[in-house]
Chain A
């Protein structure tokens, strides 16, 4: 059996699953100390099911904790960056486009050295070990041990980053080192940004993951545990300590994967109604459709592939104004259970309107019995209109598609959605995100430039697929379950010679045994 947990800003959700069956579920408030909320949610699902904690084979946790640390500028470790690529790249040093406050917090110490590769694998300049040794000593003398290393075109050839890590370890044996090639794609600044943020977050990651571990120990759960990545795949706990940056934006992915699982649909629109916002995303072949544009995290540009979601300010806690009728975007948020009319509060919320309409019985129904029936009907119609417009934005054609409604605020959906072939509110819809975490798989990625002058296209594609599959297996996937889920080819424009960039993602089921940490290189 598996436990899936989603730690959101408002709620910590947990589910206990036996294979494909949801045994029990729980929703508890998120606590300042994240582990306490997790322990509480787990204790509840175990108690409700009456099972022995020894029967749990794995615990999967999705968390926004590390994203929030960057956004809130809290608990970040000062980090130095070494970039290999001289004489190229000089005019735009590391962290050049970071917000000043974050740069100050991180220390802004960066060093450029020779090395780096061309797109076709040639060296930009000869690697100079002595130069790197000097830099390592300077970093040590500055009292830093968190270091990010980037090298031009390291997704094509990572050897200079690896050599640099060895040299740095000679000077700083306990150095916390992130190589950009381990976590990112082509786009030096974005990949380097992610590597620096990763080293910044490692201290927090170690404490957080140890806290999760302590929560599990307290409940005598001996099973391995895993953390969700932004692409919906898992990394094991030790790997999460090493690569916290890969958890960014795992929340929407888990919710959509959970919706796919609960509904059994692979192609659909997912409407996730929360307390304050509703997120609409598109499932393609069972996975979220990725966004095409660069994503900022706390003002720092990254090239992680995030799910393409559209958010509107509509949720269970949305404030209602009459004359003119307005639903949201202001919300009572996590205070819904104390401020809404049905919960004895004095704020008129979307939830109150749904209860007044008679489709749900929640809290004190009498508290909303005096509401104007026309206003109630108009509000419900407005809510459905808001959702229909948002769904239409995300559709790819006029053909009606199934719409899966999940999330704690799903009660807001009371009627038909224009353009939907059917509306599915699966069982356990409030905890779809935790289910998404519980059922997650492991993956691997390859992003490289191939010269089709030297290799035919099929061979290049096969090589990229093989590399991505190998990484998925290294990350813990059972080899027989590996599936190639995404292939993208982008020819290099303005160039003769048919160089093309190939990106491949492979995903597989978690193998029985816990994966080895040293060889893991899961994608993002």
Chain B
């Protein structure tokens, strides 16, 4: 166990934005919530799974909705606590701690708020090791952990509890209910025992996010190249450096879909990278050839500062570096790969791990 203080939150949030691969929401609001809760209630205890009892119940906490809404309708805070406690009541068991379902983006830091306010342990693991757009796209699902019972609360005090036959049904119901809550709901789901999580989660991802953030911060301070620092921290590959020459966005089924085209510079001069996104970056093609696809991670970084750039912020003329790095090995097991295969997102290609293309 170690303690998370205010100063760790900044690093975790920056690293989480890298792991967000363009989506998952800007961690800014979650970072402030975590920081303020730690200021008020004291540091948060971060545990590894090995430090907890196998029978302890862990309930992940998260936010759901449109990232642009959360920057305007800031959460109440009570809404997160309400959803978390409602799930415990429905399950008939007191949760021992909380964790993140999604180490990429906003939901990496949201559970820190719950852990601080309720003074309960936060567990250093998550269900994705990155960000994905749909609730069922987790390692939990692949290991048979159910998203339901599922609780969702709004700032008014409404609590919805769902018991569904599959994780995809949770996604279907919750996605339409959240609109009525003003496109923002705080959720608790995927409750599991520590024993289950030892198999069915990705370990150490909060620390990984923190390490990435710390690396970028140190590189900036030393005036070293932060892009190289990020690439090294995630054990990844530099795909491209260049300028965004076109961004094409469209709305499809509520998703922010589109593609960005980049023209290479320096060593990449004369080459073109096409980056497809559906909230998160899905696939990168260089001169028409696939260079990386989901479930591997593709991050677009500001070429100068190493700051990760979200898909909503991609703009014509930005100078960027694109890196790709391997997903958690659990994603490559058949049951998990099926949930996040390039084919699920409409690409008629086999999945080739990024390190086989570049290693």
> Is B42's beta carbon under 8 Å from chain A?
no
What is the minimal beta-carbon distance from B34 to any residue of chain A, in angstroms? 10
B215-268 interface with A by 8 A CB criterion: 243, 245, 249-251, 253-256, 263, 265
What is the minimal beta-carbon distance from B141 to any residue of chain A, in angstroms? 18
For the complex, give the distance between the alpha carbons of A97 and B36 in Å.
9
> Is A74's beta carbon under 8 Å from chain B?
no
> Is B65's beta carbon under 8 Å from chain A?
yes
Stretch at the interface among A27-35, A181-189, A326-334: A181-189
Given A396-B245, A398-B269, A500-B251: A92 in contact with B73 (beta carbons within 8 A): no
Stretch at the interface among B201-209, B311-319, B324-332: B311-319
What is the minimal beta-carbon distance from A163 to any residue of chain B, in angstroms? 19
> Is B149's beta carbon under 8 Å from chain A?
no
Q: Inside 8 A of A153's CB, which chain B residues have their CB?
A: 72-73
B301-358 interface with A by 8 A CB criterion: 307, 309, 311-313, 315-319
Q: Inside 8 A of A282's CB, which chain B residues have their CB?
A: 317
Q: Inside 8 A of A397's CB, which chain B residues have their CB?
A: 243, 245, 263
B78:A491 contact, CB within 8 angstroms:
no
A77-126 interface with B by 8 A CB criterion: 85, 87-92, 96-97, 116, 118-120, 122, 124-125
A87:B156 contact, CB within 8 angstroms:
yes
B254:A497 contact, CB within 8 angstroms:
yes
What total count of A-B pairs have CB within 8 Å?
A: 151
B76:A396 contact, CB within 8 angstroms:
no
A88:B183 contact, CB within 8 angstroms:
no
A186:B72 contact, CB within 8 angstroms:
yes
Q: Inside 8 A of A97's CB, which chain B residues have their CB?
A: 32
For the complex, give the distance between the alpha carbons of A88 and B157 in Å.
10
For chain B, the bracket of interface size reads 35 or more
For the complex, give the distance between the alpha carbons of A92 and B178 in Å.
21
B69:A395 contact, CB within 8 angstroms:
no
B76:A293 contact, CB within 8 angstroms:
no
Q: Inside 8 A of B182's CB, which chain A residues have their CB?
A: 118-120, 122, 124
A396:B251 contact, CB within 8 angstroms:
no
A498:B251 contact, CB within 8 angstroms:
yes
Q: Inside 8 A of B312's CB, which chain A residues have their CB?
A: 490, 493
Among the listed A85, A91, A188, A494, which residue makes an inter-chain contact with B65, where contact means beta carbons less than 8 Å apart? A494
Q: Inside 8 A of A501's CB, which chain B residues have their CB?
A: 68
| B64 closest partner in A (C-beta) | A494
A88:B75 contact, CB within 8 angstroms:
yes
A189:B263 contact, CB within 8 angstroms:
no
B249:A396 contact, CB within 8 angstroms:
no
> Is A308's beta carbon under 8 Å from chain B?
yes
* A-contact 0/1 string along B165-176, CB 8 Å cutoff: 000000000011
What is the minimal beta-carbon distance from A95 to any residue of chain B, in angstroms? 12
| A303 closest partner in B (C-beta) | B71
Q: Inside 8 A of B315's CB, which chain A residues have their CB?
A: 292
Q: Inside 8 A of A188's CB, which chain B residues have their CB?
A: 71-74
| A310 closest partner in B (C-beta) | B304
* B-contact 0/1 string along A150-185, CB 8 Å cutoff: 001100000000000000000000000000000000
Q: Hey, which bits of chain A sit against chain B, CB under 8 A?
A: 85, 87-92, 96-97, 116, 118-120, 122, 124-125, 152-153, 186-190, 282, 289, 292-293, 308, 392-398, 452, 489-501
6 smallest A-B Cβ distances: which pairs? A91-B77, A493-B256, A491-B251, A496-B254, A118-B182, A88-B155
